[in-house]
Structure 1
């Protein structure tokens, strides 16, 4: 998959384009991108997705911006798996925020990406002051010769699939609902980093994934599966949060204790799928109390995996 950046993309051949933040790459995004890829292949175009980094709301109102569902690695992995061959990442800065919608169409879409087909969500707005919409794109299609479609919303049990709905389910610990909306378990990926080794001292060594953004879509203790270390997923229990018993005002961290597995994981890229929430993160009076609770969490995780139905 080709990845480009900036406001002056250079396409190698004509493109079919979808635009969005694609946060979480949920079922709605998947339906949209599958339709785009099918059209691109039928017309011998490059299936291309445009996304923004950071999220526009992180630029305009960072304190009110929603928690990210996916880091850039997971988003790109999701787009690649759906058959997207080119991802153009628009850095959302002051220049892009003030770019007129007409300039976005002409400079980025038409001249930059050689767009011949465009697929957008039914609520998509773009350009300075969000002035660009379907009607403007349709008007300019007559001049620039591209065709245009809008994707209708996807629903699951009468609930509109959206990144907001996924965030709400995760925040409430409703991982089964989040999985329905995503079409897969909620996942966080990253490269295992060195930590303070406290887990090993307590008898529960962990693989640590630092979290770049301080706003989390979910926190607590979870039963998880880890991919990327063996041919099959490995069972584990994980803590996602700020570790209030041992830290003050700490950066969020994902700590994973693998069950029945002990190896040097530093530097390895792993993918952590969240299956069940066990409890909220808590502050304990001392490390002995914390250790006893971790032992109970590990036992709960073992019970979960021991009682899974045999395929």
Structure 2
């Protein structure tokens, strides 16, 4: 898959089939749309293309800085590539782009730069300055500039909308099972292992502290989860705590994971954690001894969840 971040200097090597959207999550609803693009492109020998945006348009247009995303940009790229996309355009969403007229967007970017022969968008898709243009406008442009427009059905668009909303709601409630149902895969967090207080090793539960670089990534509700990661090519299960660490004075917020049956130096390594099951809410314990007892119970519950 080829990635383009500056379309102003780019011209596609051959004509394209394009879909346009944020595609946060690249969930099952999105995958159906991507499947249409790839299928149409393969039939006609064209480039299967996704035109997406970063940052999320809501952060620019609505100044919604609290919005958390299901995928980081890098995760989205990897998922789209796995679905067979040939060309990914990541448009910097800024005031200048938001003020681009609908016709300029179509003629300059879709037609001249991307050589669009087919555009696949939803019935409710809006674009151009003030989001004044819609699929009917796109059809008129298609006739004028020589490309086909395929409408994604109401049902499929509703699936996309409902899925995105439900995934965010589920993660905010710690319901990683529902999130996985809509995503088609377990929800994931990616981060680098950094040094912590090293308290865990003193009670038999040495943990890897995870630092996530992207502050816009949606971190599930505080609590304890069964998880797994791939370390050195091996699938390693464990349990992860997300929270404020109320039992340990001065520790503060952290994301840390204890891997089962694993002994190795992980400092500085980048890990991807895949969520299996929510186990319990974060609690404050009267002593470290009681915390250790609870961790033993958590390990039993996590191991059971893994074998189900």
| TM superposition score normalised by structure 1 | 0.86
- 1:86 has 2:67 as partner: no
**Paired position in structure 1 for 2:4:** 4
- 1:39 has 2:45 as partner: no
Structure 2 residue ranges without an equivalent (≥5)? none
2:116 touches 2:147 (CA, 8 Å); kept in 1? yes
Does 31-40 or 124-133 show the bigger shift? 124-133
Q: Deviations over 1:139-189 (max 9, x none)?
A: 111121111112223499x99642112112222333332222111222223
**Paired position in structure 2 for 1:224:** 227
Pairing of 1:126-275 with structure 2 (within 5 A):
126-152=127-153, 153-154=155-156, 161-211=162-212, 212-213=214-215, 216=218, 218-219=220-221, 220-231=223-234, 233-246=235-248, 253-275=254-276
Q: Judging changes above 3 Å, is the alpha-carbon distance between structure 1 residues 13 and 265 closer, same or farther for their aligned structure 2 residues?
A: farther
- SS of the counterpart of 1:162? helix
Q: Distance in 2 between matches of 1:97 and 1:167?
A: 25
Q: Distance in 2 between matches of 1:129 and 1:90?
A: 17
Does 259-268 or 192-201 show the bigger shift? 192-201
1:74 touches 1:188 (CA, 8 Å); kept in 2? no
Q: Distance in 2 between matches of 1:284 and 1:126?
A: 53
Q: CA deviation at 1:248?
A: 7.3
Q: Judging changes above 3 Å, is the alpha-carbon distance between structure 1 residues 249 and 123 closer, same or farther for their aligned structure 2 residues?
A: farther
Q: Deviations over 1:279-311 (max 9, x none)?
A: 223444554544443333222212323x43xxx
Q: Judging changes above 3 Å, is the alpha-carbon distance between structure 1 residues 107 and 275 closer, same or farther for their aligned structure 2 residues?
A: same
Pairing of 1:56-135 with structure 2 (within 5 A):
56-63=57-64, 65-135=66-136
Does 86-95 or 162-171 show the bigger shift? 162-171
| TM superposition score normalised by structure 2 | 0.87
Q: Judging changes above 3 Å, is the alpha-carbon distance between structure 1 residues 177 and 99 closer, same or farther for their aligned structure 2 residues?
A: same
- SS of the counterpart of 1:21? coil
- SS of the counterpart of 1:8? helix
CA RMSD between the two structures: 2.8
**Paired position in structure 2 for 1:21:** 22
Q: Judging changes above 3 Å, is the alpha-carbon distance between structure 1 residues 133 and 234 closer, same or farther for their aligned structure 2 residues?
A: same
Q: Judging changes above 3 Å, is the alpha-carbon distance between structure 1 residues 214 and 5 closer, same or farther for their aligned structure 2 residues?
A: closer
- SS of the counterpart of 2:299? helix
